[in-house]
Amino acid sequence: MHAKFRGMTLQTLLKQHGITSIKELRDRTGVSRQQGWNLWHGRVGVGKATAKRLYERLGIPAELLLQVDPIPAVKPPDRPPPRPRGRPPRPRMTEAQP
Protein backbone atom coordinates (compact mmCIF):
# COMPACT_ATOMS: atom_id res chain seq x y z
CA MET A 1 0.00 0.00 0.00
CA HIS A 2 2.84 2.43 0.73
CA ALA A 3 4.31 1.96 -2.75
CA LYS A 4 1.12 3.46 -4.17
CA PHE A 5 1.90 6.80 -2.51
CA ARG A 6 5.62 6.99 -3.37
CA GLY A 7 6.34 10.11 -5.39
CA MET A 8 2.93 11.60 -4.71
CA THR A 9 2.34 15.32 -4.91
CA LEU A 10 -0.05 17.13 -2.60
CA GLN A 11 -2.24 17.97 -5.60
CA THR A 12 -2.62 14.26 -6.41
CA LEU A 13 -3.47 13.46 -2.81
CA LEU A 14 -6.02 16.27 -2.63
CA LYS A 15 -7.69 15.10 -5.86
CA GLN A 16 -7.99 11.60 -4.37
CA HIS A 17 -9.88 13.18 -1.47
CA GLY A 18 -12.26 15.17 -3.67
CA ILE A 19 -10.45 18.52 -3.79
CA THR A 20 -10.28 19.31 -7.50
CA SER A 21 -9.34 22.99 -7.55
CA ILE A 22 -7.36 25.61 -5.68
CA LYS A 23 -10.57 27.47 -4.87
CA GLU A 24 -12.06 24.40 -3.26
CA LEU A 25 -8.86 23.88 -1.26
CA ARG A 26 -9.01 27.49 -0.05
CA ASP A 27 -12.73 27.34 0.77
CA ARG A 28 -12.51 24.08 2.71
CA THR A 29 -9.28 24.78 4.61
CA GLY A 30 -9.26 28.54 5.06
CA VAL A 31 -5.77 29.04 3.64
CA SER A 32 -5.03 32.28 1.83
CA ARG A 33 -5.21 32.60 -1.93
CA GLN A 34 -1.42 32.70 -2.24
CA GLN A 35 -0.85 29.80 0.17
CA GLY A 36 -3.46 27.73 -1.66
CA TRP A 37 -1.77 28.37 -5.00
CA ASN A 38 1.68 27.60 -3.58
CA LEU A 39 0.49 24.34 -2.02
CA TRP A 40 -1.42 23.25 -5.13
CA HIS A 41 1.53 23.87 -7.45
CA GLY A 42 4.16 22.47 -5.09
CA ARG A 43 5.98 25.74 -4.49
CA VAL A 44 5.92 25.13 -0.73
CA GLY A 45 5.93 21.97 1.30
CA VAL A 46 3.44 20.75 3.86
CA GLY A 47 4.65 21.80 7.28
CA LYS A 48 3.26 20.82 10.67
CA ALA A 49 0.61 23.54 10.82
CA THR A 50 -0.58 22.89 7.27
CA ALA A 51 -0.66 19.12 7.79
CA LYS A 52 -2.69 19.60 10.96
CA ARG A 53 -5.12 21.89 9.14
CA LEU A 54 -5.51 19.42 6.24
CA TYR A 55 -6.15 16.62 8.72
CA GLU A 56 -8.68 18.58 10.79
CA ARG A 57 -10.62 20.18 7.94
CA LEU A 58 -10.36 17.56 5.19
CA GLY A 59 -9.86 14.37 7.16
CA ILE A 60 -6.71 13.40 5.26
CA PRO A 61 -4.76 11.00 7.50
CA ALA A 62 -1.34 12.16 8.67
CA GLU A 63 0.25 8.96 7.29
CA LEU A 64 -0.74 10.03 3.79
CA LEU A 65 0.45 13.59 4.27
CA LEU A 66 3.85 12.24 5.30
CA GLN A 67 4.07 10.41 1.97
CA VAL A 68 3.85 13.65 -0.02
CA ASP A 69 7.17 14.43 -1.70
CA PRO A 70 9.00 17.25 0.06
CA ILE A 71 9.77 20.33 -1.94
CA PRO A 72 13.53 20.52 -2.57
CA ALA A 73 15.22 23.74 -1.60
CA VAL A 74 16.23 25.60 -4.72
CA LYS A 75 19.23 27.87 -4.57
CA PRO A 76 18.69 31.00 -6.65
CA PRO A 77 21.10 31.33 -9.56
CA ASP A 78 24.16 33.49 -9.06
CA ARG A 79 23.63 36.78 -10.75
CA PRO A 80 26.17 39.45 -11.57
CA PRO A 81 25.80 42.70 -9.63
CA PRO A 82 23.55 45.25 -11.32
CA ARG A 83 25.23 47.81 -13.55
CA PRO A 84 25.15 51.37 -12.29
CA ARG A 85 22.69 53.62 -14.06
CA GLY A 86 23.18 57.13 -15.27
CA ARG A 87 26.37 59.00 -16.01
CA PRO A 88 29.64 57.96 -14.45
CA PRO A 89 30.88 60.31 -11.74
CA ARG A 90 33.16 63.14 -12.85
CA PRO A 91 36.77 62.85 -11.76
CA ARG A 92 37.65 65.09 -8.84
CA MET A 93 39.94 67.96 -9.45
CA THR A 94 42.82 67.99 -7.01
CA GLU A 95 45.20 70.84 -6.37
CA ALA A 96 48.51 70.51 -8.12
CA GLN A 97 51.30 69.36 -5.84
CA PRO A 98 54.58 71.41 -6.13
Has domain 2-66 been given CATH number 1.10.3470?
Answer: no
Mean pLDDT calculated for residue range 42-64: 90
The pLDDT assigned to 7 comes to: 66
Tally Cβ neighbours within 10 Å of residue 40: 20
Q: Would the pTM count as exceeding 0.85?
A: no
Examine the pLDDT at 54 and tell me if it is beyond 90: yes
Mean pLDDT value across residues 38-56: 90
Per-residue model confidence (pLDDT) at position 84: 85
Please write the tens of the pLDDT for every residue from 57-70.
999 998 888 888 87
Handedness of CA 30, 35, 38, 39 (dihedral sign): negative
Half-sphere exposure of 72 toward its Cβ, with a 13 Å CA cutoff?
4
Indicate if the pLDDT at residue 19 is higher than 60. Answer: yes
21 strand-pairing partners = none
